Amino acid sequence: MKNQLIGCKAIMLMAVLFLLAGCGKRGGAHKILKAEAFQEELATYAQNGQLIDVRTEEEFAQGHLAGAKNINYNSNDFKERISDLDRNAPVFVYCLGGGRSNATAEELAGMGFTQVYDLKGGIMAWKNKNLPIEGGNIEKTADRVTMDDLHNVLRKNKITLVDFYADWCVPCKEMEPTLEKLAKDYKDKVFIYRINVDEATLLSETLKIEGIPLFHVYKGDKLVRELTGFQEEEDLKTVIDAI
């Protein structure tokens, strides 16, 4: 009898914990979709879907997905504006490379939005799949870094670590101290070449860059390793030492 009572209490406790866990959840985990899947979901919810571009006004003016509303992730009223979205309708978010939209999707899920879709790789991935873009009629500034620039750097160095980054990318900024240290520790072996994707749009499209931070490791002009996302210092050292 005693064992039965203990067993019943244990079951009841588990049930209570389960209910509490369920009640504690607000919203749901957002879905990260590749470009084609993102496009399909957009079409599915064409009547009530909310498409949000969280890039800057300048980026938005250079081309965006049709029907997108611009809410700058870095604006002072960002949280207020996204909280005004309809919680009962799907929300689709994107940026340039996926960083700002992922942070936005997490914010929305935390606010109680239950249908949140994030474009993996951002509008860069969308363009790489030759999917339609609207706008972009303003005069664009010339890229500061081109494929010729990259090839010239690769020809001059035995080993090159190329860091694709952007000023708005938080993980990219977090990588800066590590890259500075590697540049000193490996100054006689590796050349670290940083490319701001916002200043190298054609190069980014040619290399089909879909997310940052992104690292390409070249031996001469041959790409030998590709690393995506935040990298620990020791992991990068291991890659370099193996070449």
List, by residue number, the catalytic residues: 169, 172
98 backbone dihedrals φ, ψ, rounded to 5°: 110, -15
Cα separation, 150 vs 196, whole angstroms: 12
Give residue for tokens 């009223």.
77
Q: Which helix (H) or strand (E) holds 35?
A: helix 35-44
Q: Of the candidates 90, 93, 83, which has an alpha carbon nearest to the alpha carbon of residue 33?
A: 93
Note the maximum CA span of the chain. 82
For 17-54, give one letter per residue: b (16+ CB within 10 A) or e. eeeeeeeeeebeebbbbebeebbebbeebeeebbbbbb
